[in-house]
Amino acid sequence: MAGNRTFTMIKPDAFGAGNTGAILKIIEGAGFKIKAAKALRLTQEKAGKFYEVHKERPFYNDLCSYMSSGSILAAVLEKENAVADFRKLIGATNPVEAEEGTIRKLFAKSIEANAIHGSDSDENAEIESRFFFSKLEEV
């Protein structure tokens, strides 16, 4: 992926509220190209696997329940400096701390129901993309 791809999920709160289109518009407006996308609902088990790095955190079970509470949109995005630029676009984990104009400031409901996920490294972008998309080389 060489630093030009990231992985995102529009989370159940934002997807369920009908904000997927508005969020994708912001993402595309910021110069990201959608390389793969699908709507799906995670099982509690699959959400647990995705967020396994957080399994010792006190909010882990709640997070997995929340992430499997409704449909999500999983997508692979492409842009130069994708991981860092996308983290900037989505804003801080806690929407109270997110900068004006960021996706979380605009759409997140709480620190847990925070509208969107963005990979935090090139390595995780690759792992997370492959978690959802097995034929990435074709997109």
What angle (nearest 5°) sits at the alpha carbon of residue 52, between those of residues 9 and 72? 20
Query: How many residues bind ligand GTP, per CB under 6 A?
Result: 11
SS3 77: strand
Residues 6+ apart with CB under 8 A from 26: 89, 103, 106
By CB under 6 A, residue 62 contacts ligand GTP: yes
Question: Which of 119, 137 has the CB closer to ligand GTP?
Answer: 119
Question: Are residues 33 and 139 in contact, defined by beta-carbon separation less than 8 angstroms?
Answer: no
Q: What is the DSSP letter of 36?
A: E
Contact code string over 86-125 relative to Mg ion, x by CB under 5 A:
----------------------------------x-----
Site for ligand GTP in 100-119 (CB under 6 A): 111-112, 114, 117-118
Q: Is residue 54 annotated as part of the catalytic site, yes or no?
A: no
Which of ligand GTP, Mg ion, none lies near 114, with the C-beta cut-off 5 to 8 A by kind?
ligand GTP
Residues 6+ apart with CB under 8 A from 29: none
Which of ligand GTP, Mg ion, none lies near 62, with the C-beta cut-off 5 to 8 A by kind?
ligand GTP
Question: Shortest distance, CB of residue 109 to ligand GTP, whole angstroms?
Answer: 10
Question: Are residues 115 and 14 in contact, defined by beta-carbon separation less than 8 angstroms?
Answer: yes
Which chain residues interact with Mg ion by CB under 5 A? 120
